[in-house]
Amino acid sequence: MNISEETLIQGCVQQDRRYQKLLYERYCEAMFTVAVRLCNSYEDAEDALQEAFVEIFRNIQQFRKESTLGAWIKKIVVRSAIRKTRKDTKYTEYEIIHDITDDLDTYITQETDMEYLEKCILSLPEKCRQIFVLSEIEGYAHEEIAQMLNISIGTSKSQLHYAKQLLKQKLQIILKN
């Protein structure tokens, strides 16, 4: 069904269940995918998605169109997923070695098995995985990530660097084989 975003929003503001379902169906897969990568658990990701959408429907009248609806929804889902995984463990600061390139393109080629890459990403330690997902897959800037995760920009950068190093090691094994 080709319904405009504006109509969808208005229908949700009116608490019309048909429009709420349409909105959910339009965004659920993309949002669930982010949640899975952040939580590394289908169960937690489903819980996060559920909580996020309830929050979205309760607060949709507050959507000010400062960003796209998708971006607004994604931020709520990301926060919900992070809440699910938030533990008291501290982020470790890793030293960024500048002579080592952060570019993963050498390792990720057309032939790379994306399912395997996904497994590699999901096997990363939680904190650096979240930063990798938010930065390299979802496209958030370090400032936004720092704000969402309540960490410093430096920590965000060093954790991303660490994530990339770990990924390279994992991908190198495949290339060698």
Partner 1 sequence: MKTNLYQKLPVYKPSDKVWQNIEKELDALQKVQSNVKYVYLWPLVAGFILVFFATLLFVNRQSEVAKNHQSLQITYSEEILDSVLVQKVQTDTVSDTEIENICEMQPVKCEDEYAKSLLKQIQDLSQAYLELDQSTAEQSIPDVTVQKQKAHLEKEKHKRIKKLKRYLNE
Q: Pattern of binders to partner 1 over 43-82, x per CB under 8 A? A: --xx--xx--xx--xx------------------------
Say how many residues touch partner 1, by CB under 8 A. 34
* Binder of partner 1 out of 138, 145, 155, 159 (CB under 8 A): 138
Q: How far is C-alpha 96 from the geometric centre of its chain's CA atoms?
A: 23
Smallest distance from partner 1 to CB 5, Å: 20
Taking each continuous run of H as one helix and of E as one strand, the counts in the chain are: 8, 0
Should residue 155 be labelled a site residue for partner 1 when binding is judged by CB under 8 A?
no
Cα–Cα distances (Å) from 151 to 89, 132, 137, 143, in that order, read: 12, 14, 19, 9
Smallest distance from partner 1 to CB 58, Å: 7
Cα–Cα distances (Å) from 39 to 87, 131, 147, in that order, read: 12, 12, 18
Whichever of 69 and 160 has its CB closer to partner 1, that residue is 160
